[in-house]
Amino acid sequence: MDPLALALLPGIGPKRLLEVLKAEDPLGFLRERFPEAWRHLPEAEAQAERERGRAEALGVRLLGLWEEGFPEGLRALPQPPTHLYLKGELPPEREAVALVGTRRASPWALAFARRLARELAEAGLWVVSGLARGIDREAHLGALEAGGRTLGVLGSALDRVYPPENRPLAQRMDLLSEFPFGTGPKPEFFPRRNRLIAGLCRAVVVVEAPLDSGALITARHALELGKEVLAVPGRPTDERSLGANRLIQDGAYPVLSAEDVLSYLGMSARPKPLPGLSPEEEALYALLQEKKEALPEALAMALGIPPERVLSLLTLLELKGLARALPGGRYGPG
C-alpha cells in the first residue's frame, strides 16, 4: 500500500497512519477500521502520483513519518505531520534557532531581528522562521547577509509562497511545508506551521510580539517540547512588546544581543576573519584585544611608536571595523 496515498486520505492522521502501516494486512485493516477513508482511496492514490510528479518537477523531497529520515524533533510532536515537503535541506536540531515575532513590528525590532539573525548565522547557526512579513522576513534576510543558512517553514504549499512579496526571498533559502501542492494560506494553517518551527529548533527567540501574536504559540510549543525560550525585552508601554515582556516575566531568558543567545546555548561567536593588516596594524589590534580599552598614549608607549602614528593606525582599524572610540578618549577592539 502506498503510504503517501494513505497520508492523504481524509480522517487519517499520524496515529491512524502508523496504525494502518503496522497492520499485517494494511489494506484490509483500513477497509475494516476506517471504511469512510477506504472509499476515498482511489482519489488519494491518484493525488499521491500527482504530488510525486510535482515534487520532482520542482526539486522538492517528500519525507514521510514512516521513513527513517523524518526529523526526530517533529516526530516527537503530539500531532506530527504525516509527511513533509522539503526544498533544500533541514538543519541539525542542535544548530537551529528560531527567530519569530509580529508581522507589524516596530522599526527598531525589524533592525534588531536582522542584526541578531546575521550574527547568529555568523556563529554557524541556522536561522529558522516562518517567511511572514515583519520579524520573519528580517530574520531570513539577516542570515542570508551573513552567508548563512535559513529555513522558511510555510503555512501554505511550497508552490503557493505567502505573502507574494516574499517569493523572490524564498528562492534564496531552504523551505519546508506539510501542505500538499496547491494549498493556499489559511488562518488556521499558521498555528500548525508554528509547531513545526518549535520542533525543528533547539531554541526559540521571540523578538517582538503582542499578547495575541502567533509567535507566542511557537514559544508555547517550544516549552511543551522542552526547548529553550528566549525573548527580547521591549518598552512596557508598547503593545507590540507585551507578549515578549510577558514571556520574560514567566521565565524566558532576556536577549539583548547575539552574545546573550550564544552564551545561553553554551556557544561562542566565531572569530571574524581579519582583513589584510600591516604588521603595525596587527600589533595594535592584538594590543587592543588584550587591554580591552586604553588611551592612545598608553598604546603608543606599549608599542614603542609615536602617538601620532598610533592615532593614524587607530583610524585605519576603525574603518575596517576592528577598533572603536570609547568615552574619555579611549579606544577598544571593534
Question: What pLDDT is stored for residue 274 in this prediction?
Answer: 63
Cβ(303)–Cβ(283) below 8 Å: yes
Question: What pLDDT is stored for residue 309 in this prediction?
Answer: 93
Question: What pLDDT is stored for residue 74 in this prediction?
Answer: 95
Taken in order of first residue, the domains within the chain and their CATH numbers are 3-87 (no CATH), 93-264 (3.40.50.450), 279-333 (1.10.10.10)
Q: What is the DSSP letter of 271?
A: P
**Helix-helix angle 296-303:279-291, to 10 degrees:** 120
Question: What pLDDT is stored for residue 270 in this prediction?
Answer: 62
Question: What pLDDT is stored for residue 269 in this prediction?
Answer: 67
- Phi-psi label, residue 251: left if phi above 0, alpha if psi -120 to 50, beta otherwise: left
CA distance 56 to 4: 15
Q: What is the DSSP letter of 238?
A: -
Question: What pLDDT is stored for residue 291 in this prediction?
Answer: 84
Question: What pLDDT is stored for residue 271 in this prediction?
Answer: 56
Residuewise pLDDT in 10s, the chain (334 residues)? 788 998 899 888 888 888 888 888 988 999 999 988 889 999 999 999 999 999 999 999 999 988 888 999 999 998 899 999 999 999 999 999 999 999 999 999 999 999 999 999 999 999 999 999 999 999 999 999 999 999 999 999 999 999 999 999 999 999 999 999 999 999 999 999 999 999 999 999 999 999 999 999 999 999 999 999 999 999 999 999 999 999 999 999 999 999 999 999 998 766 555 667 888 898 898 898 888 889 999 999 989 999 999 999 999 998 888 888 988 899 988 7
Question: What pLDDT is stored for residue 119 in this prediction?
Answer: 95
Beta bridge partners of 19: none
